[in-house]
Structure 1
Amino acid sequence: MTQALTRHDRVLGCLIGGAVGDALGYQVEFNHWDRIRESWGPDGVTELRRNQISDDTQMTLFTAEGLLDAAPGDEFASVKSAYMRWYATQKEYLPPSGARGLAAEPWLYDRRAPGNACLSGLRAGGGPGVNMDSKGCGTVMRSAPFGFHSGPEEAYALAERCSALTHGHPTAGASAGAFAMIVAHLMNGETPQRAVSAAMLHLRDGLHRSETADALQHAYRLAGSVPPGPNTCAPLGEGWIAEEALAIAVYCLLGTDDVRKGLTASVSHSGDSDSTGAILGNLYGAAYGHAALPREWSSQVEGRGTITALAGRFAADAPTS
């Protein structure tokens, strides 16, 4: 077990950590490693030159709000409604009259490179069968709050179900579910190794989960042989698809407990750097708490006040299982 931490420490750490990793990676999203190395140096992205978060943190916050607003048993419908509110922020410039909660906050109306499948899926109403061939990482990067809401197996099931609101491919659901399950285990005080191992075992229960299971197995092996550093995650892919983004974050989580070093490694590569950074930040925060995050990053990340308030609401609620 890791050191004793309060539920609030872990929830706040998870949400702020995700925002920090997101902001670090958003500075270089879409950039090839060669360009990152030229602009930032061989050590990669080691500073927060801009504090802006991307759609990853936006959607994570709306996931959290949907769960907080849900009546017992009505979580899926409430999260779906929350995602539709997020979708509205991507079409408007300012909150409409009468908006409440996150939908009333003007800073969340900035478009920060939202994923095409997230937009098209919600444009279609988030119904069954949407984007059946899509397994983009947009399902994973928003799913950490499911790990606060319930126990590991319930978190997996709800994250998997909610992923289909935008991405119909089963690997997208399995990756979102595995991520939520790992977060739930970390919230319970399990070590990263045990949390990841439990998720890997759960994934082996179904063939439709095999791509995610294989990606995590690859991450586990790489973490045991290659310490995380700039572009060392390249064998795992670029993170555009769900299982690759999760694998890159898990590789860094298992490879080092140095949060600064791990976050730098998770974003210093070609590909979807903000998503891989956000996922790892969520995992580090849930594992080690808010105080483990580099203070100069966590203190200035965009939206910190809103994130802190949401974390306080979550921490005040007892886990449902």
Structure 2
Amino acid sequence: MKKSGHLDRAAGVMVGLACGDALGAAYEFGGPYPADMAVKMNGGGAFGWEPGEWTDDTSMAIPLLELIASGERPRGYNLRSAVKGWIDWMQDAKDVGNQTSAVLGEARLASGGDFYELDTAAMVAAREFQVQFPDAAGNGSLMRTAPYGLAGQDLEYVAITAAGQSELTHPHADAVTACAIWSAAIKHAVDTGELDIRVGLQAGVSETNEPDRFVLWETRIKEAEKSAPEHFTQNGWVVQALQGAWSSIVHSGDRADNDPRHVRRALEMAVRGGGDTDTVAAIAGGLIGAAYGVSAIPQEWKRRIHGWPGWRADELVEHAITATQEWTEYGRSSENSWPATDYCDYSDWRGTETCVPHPHDRGVYLGGIGALDNLPGDVDAVVSLCRVGRKQVPGAIAREDRVSAWLVDSDDPDDNQYVDFVLYEAADMVARMRQEGKTVLLHCVQAHSRTPAVGALYAARHLGVPIDDALRDVTAILPMADPNPAFVAAIRRIANEGEER
């Protein structure tokens, strides 16, 4: 049974993976780092990453995500497209793991460029590598396995297919089992919002019918729950990579508290553990993003992430949501609807053309979605509080200056689990863009509820306007403004908490 917020959590899988990856990129091969060290997405590191640029962890996950989102079952010959994607990526990649590079390089040569031989050639090359290096059990398949949490109808299917993709490059039993366990746990988190690695353990090991393996992995999981991430210094090994990721999740918060800040704490803790920081944080990000959803991931991280093949957060969200659609015997049906559409149709809505300067900051415009069709000439950044299509924001606005908040205009708590978090993140993003010298359009569909709520909160948090005055002034200039009661209560809570601090 899928709980409310399923699409939010599906999107959180890939965005969480990429954020952890990009966050840890600058710290790879160092540490462990002090517990009070600030962890920032500044780029740099051994391979000169750009700020927010993801590494091989996310890049290798993308061909698997595309395969799953295509509606093809990710088994057998259907994995050829993923192998081809990896080989294409590898040609210009800044960093490729040693085992991955050796296996895929040999597969490319052995296949002679024949697409239909790629998966077989990869598996043969992987097995030969394993014979030559029997103890090789790197984390290169676990780092990319998160998309499998978006596939299939049951945990056992996910576990089996995730194990299969590992065998293309990392056939060691530790790598195969780790992928099965972690992917099944992600699937469970997407469906239920729960963080339960033992559900993944049950699904990931039950098919092997090997009681000793179950006991072994239970022991490893208990060790992760007992020890901090910095204990797992050999996290290039797939077992310690999984342990470090799970340790960072369980030692940074309790899912029962439903605190969206747990996501940030977990990924920062994973990075501070040191070693293969981008990979451990990416692995952790796929699972904790699945449990909390993309709405719980810091807006500034989502704004920055980007990488091969020229994607940003929007493409990750689109493909993740497409991938998690229901499977049928004949594959999935495809609808030309959000997020896989160029334009979301709001033609039946009235008042969407509203666009007025903020009463307390003329560098911010407040409006409806129709304002995107006739942007004021000085606008160079957009914060969207409703669903928009791929081409709805004008191309003149740089990709990194288009931000979307996952916010439903509803006072039902099931529709916005972290309403306070999303509202203040949106208001703070407006402030951050203004500090960068940008002129911002803040909009929803009709400037009815979301826009006035965030616009008032921005004035209260960053311009020193009392929240009730800000709310009164903003609603007075928007002809349809009437924020829903849940939003009004939330922005008052946030503003009052700020005063107390």
Q: State the TM-score, normalizing by the size of structure 1.
A: 0.80
Task: Please identify, of 161-170 and 63-72, the stretch whose mean Cα deviation from structure 2 is larger.
Answer: 63-72
Structure 1 partner of 2:250: 254
Q: More deviation in 290-299 or 172-181?
A: 290-299
**Distance in 2 of aligned mates of 1:319 and 1:143:** 19
Assess, with a 3 A threshold, how the Cα gap between structure 1 residues 201 and 90 changes in structure 2: closer, same or farther: closer
After superposition, the C-alpha distances for 1:56-115 in whole angstroms (9 at most, x for unaligned) are: 00011111112233534x633223421222212212xxxxxxxxxxxxxxxxx5x13211
Deviation, 1:265, is 0.4
Paired position in structure 2 for 1:62: 63
Write the distance in 2 (CA, Å) between the matches of 1:319 and 1:190. 20
Task: Tell me the distance in 2 between the aligned counterparts of 1:113 and 1:5.
Answer: 39
Indicate the larger mover: 304-313 or 201-210.
201-210
Scaled by the length of structure 2, the TM-score of the pair is 0.53
2:27–2:277 CA contact under 8 A, matched in 1: yes
Q: Say which of 144, 148, 151 aligns to 1:142.
A: 144
1:298-313 equivalences under 5 Å are 298-302=302-306, 303-313=312-322
After TM superposition, list the pairs within 5 Å mapping 1:1-321 onto structure 2: 4-33=3-32, 36-37=33-34, 43-49=36-42, 50-69=51-70, 71-72=72-73, 75-91=75-91, 109=92, 111-125=93-107, 126-128=122-124, 129-132=127-130, 133=134, 134-150=136-152, 151-189=154-192, 191-192=194-195, 195-202=196-203, 203=205, 205-206=209-210, 207-208=212-213, 212-222=217-227, 232-255=228-251, 256-257=253-254, 258-302=262-306, 303-315=312-324, 317-319=325-327
Does the 8 A contact of 1:253 with 1:280 survive in 2? yes
Q: Given that residues 75 and 164 in structure 2 are in contact (C-alpha distance below 8 angstroms), is that contact kept between their aligned partners in structure 1?
A: no
Deviating more after overlay: 203-212 vs 262-271: 203-212
Return closer, same or farther for 1:155/1:172 CA change in 2, 3 Å cut-off: same
Query: Aligned-pair distance for 1:211?
Result: 5.1
**Could you say which structure has the higher helix fraction?**
1
1:119-139, CA deviations, whole angstroms, 9 ceiling, x for partnerless residues? Answer: 222223212424323211111
Q: Give identity over the alignment, percent.
A: 24
Q: Which amino acid aligns with 2:7?
A: H
Alignment correspondent of 1:98: none
Q: CA deviation at 1:162?
A: 1.2
Higher-strand-fraction structure: 2
Deviations 1:218-243 (A, max 9, x none): 11333xxxxxxxxx312233321111
Contact 1:21 1:280 in 2 (8 A): yes
Q: CA deviation at 1:45?
A: 4.5
Deviation digits for residues 131-155 of structure 1 (CA, Å, limit 9, x no counterpart): 3232111110100111110221111
Matched length: 283
Spell out, residue by residue over 1:30-69, the C-alpha distance to the aligned partner (whole angstroms, 9 max, x if none).
1233xx55xxxx5234221121100000011111112233
The verdict on how the C-alpha distance between 1:70 and 1:319 changes in structure 2, with shifts beyond 3 A counting, is closer
Q: Given the superposition, is the C-alpha separation of residues 277 and 165 from structure 1 closer, same or farther in structure 2, using an over 3 Å criterion?
A: same
Larger Rg: 2
- Secondary structure of residue in 2 paired with 1:299: helix
Report 1 or 2 for greater relative contact order, CA contacts < 8 Å, sequence distance ≥ 6: 1
Q: Distance in 2 between matches of 1:149 and 1:30?
A: 33
SS at match of 1:77: helix
Unaligned regions of 5+ residues in structure 2, if any? Answer: 43-50, 108-121, 255-261, 307-311, 330-501
Structure 1 residues not aligned, in runs of 5+? 92-108, 223-231
- Partners of 1:209 and 1:83 lie apart in 2 by 30
Rounded to whole Å, the distance in 1 between the matches of 2:76 and 2:237 is 23
